[in-house]
């Protein structure tokens, strides 16, 4: 049952879920899935999209915002947009979860799973985690960060968060509070790609994209940290379209950051990735 629907930004909502279970067995970084077929309000739209696409609409994955030691389970959903001429189909589930899911509503979730988690003996492997996220890619890293700060006292964190504008930043206040509370262990850096006032918004708020200079700064010893990268990546649809046009798919946030990490010498086995494509 939806215990609370918290508006994070104009297109992003956190759904706090009450499951009736006192202990939920999941790891920070895991996701759950939600099947769009369960929503009566989407019935005709789902059937129409299935006819157009010629395949059944799959369940959508949503990472947990909450950390396992927190009382309630929570997910944070960013609404996908339909942009004429740019997107092939209107998005199915995220508009409903973000704009039309209210306190008291019931939904069926399936979970919990995913490889984007901390290794068991993380503290014996590294003393630093570097989080590099874009948009709703902040969700699993926020959970991992909260969990690691509470449970692994020797781990230091740098949290690099990329968004279009300051108003698009999810968990901005929570990240500032965590950074203030754990000043010796957490640095948060925001990069804003389309915010003309970025540089005047405060320390550690930059204008532009995540670039190699920033990665070198956060990873002075490229093999001494574990790096968690999450954000938009090339989708199957991008690949299919590129194949049709006889070109390579355009790299998105995930592929671009992974290439830069390779360039600055971060070993592949030090990088965990999750694509929201
Ligand atoms: C492991 C994982 C964790 C995730 N966690 C989160 C999270 O915490 N928060 C979050 O907001 N999102 C998360 N996502 C993304 C989420 O699962 C959904 O993809 C997102 O909410 C969009 O779903 P939708 O139904 O609204 O849009 P969709 O209906 O899936 O459409 C999205 C886009 O894909 C295009 N598209 C769809 N089908 C086709 C097709 N057949 N051919 C061509 N183009 C097509 C549409 O035109 C549209 O542009 C996660 C994804 C993964 C894989």
Domains in the chain: ranges and CATH: 2-113 (2.40.30.10), 122-275 (3.40.50.80)
Spacing, Cα 277 to ligand 1 middle (Å): 6
Query: How does pLDDT run across 136-158, given as a tens digit for each residue?
Result: 999 999 999 999 999 999 999 99
59 contact partners, CB below 8 Å, separation of at least 6: 33, 34, 35, 36, 110
Does the pLDDT of residue 203 top 80, yes or no?
yes
Cβ < 6 Å from ligand 1: which residues?
31, 53, 60-63, 75-78, 80, 87-89, 91-94, 114, 136, 139, 237, 274, 276
- The pLDDT of 93-102, averaged and rounded, is 96
Spacing, Cα 79 to ligand 1 middle (Å): 9
Does the pLDDT of residue 23 top 80, yes or no?
no
Instruction: Give the model's pLDDT for residue 202.
Output: 87
Query: How does pLDDT run across 109-125, given as a tens digit for each residue?
Result: 998 999 999 999 999 99
Spacing, Cα 242 to ligand 1 middle (Å): 19
CA–CA dist 44, 37 (Å, integer): 10
Spacing, Cα 235 to ligand 1 middle (Å): 9
pLDDT level of residue 47 (50, 70, 90 thresholds): very high
Query: How does pLDDT run across 230-243, given as a tens digit for each residue?
Result: 999 999 889 998 99
Instruction: Give the model's pLDDT for residue 261.
Output: 98
Longest dimension (CA), the chain: 55
CA–CA dist 76, 5 (Å, integer): 9
**Ligand 1 atom nearest residue 93's Cα:** 25
pTM to 2 decimal places: 0.97
Nearest CA to ligand 1 atom 32: 91
């Amino acid at each position: 049952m939806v215990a609370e629907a918290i508006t994070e930004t104009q297109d992003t909502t956190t759904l706090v879920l009450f499951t009736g279970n006192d202990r939920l067995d999941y790891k920070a970084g895991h996701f759950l899935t939600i099947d769009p077929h369960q929503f009566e309000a989407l019935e005709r739209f789902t059937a129409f999209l299935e006819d157009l696409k010629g395949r059944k609409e799959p369940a959508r994955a949503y990472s947990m915002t909450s950390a396992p030691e927190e009382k309630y389970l929570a997910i944070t959903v960013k609404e996908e947009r339909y942009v004429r001429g740019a997107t092939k189909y209107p998005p199915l589930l995220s508009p409903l979860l973000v704009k039309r899911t209210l306190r008291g509503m019931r939904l069926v979730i399936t979970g919990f799973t995913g490889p984007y988690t901390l290794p068991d003996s993380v503290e014996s492997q590294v003393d630093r985690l570097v989080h590099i996220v874009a948009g709703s890619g902040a969700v699993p890293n926020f959970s991992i960060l909260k969990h690691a700060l509470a449970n692994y006292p020797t781990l230091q964190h740098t949290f690099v968060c990329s968004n279009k504008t300051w108003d698009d930043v999810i968990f901005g206040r929570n990240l500032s509070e965590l950074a203030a509370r754990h000043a010796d262990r957490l640095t948060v850096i925001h990069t804003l790609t389309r915010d003309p006032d970025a540089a005047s918004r405060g320390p550690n708020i930059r204008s532009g994209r995540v670039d190699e200079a920033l990665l070198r700064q956060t990873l002075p010893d490229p093999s001494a940290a574990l790096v968690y990268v999450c954000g938009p990546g090339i989708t199957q649809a991008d690949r299919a379209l590129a194949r049709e046009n006889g070109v390579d798919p355009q790299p998105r946030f995930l592929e671009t950051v992974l290439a830069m990490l390779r360039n600055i010498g971060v070993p592949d086995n030090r990088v965990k990735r999750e694509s929201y494509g």
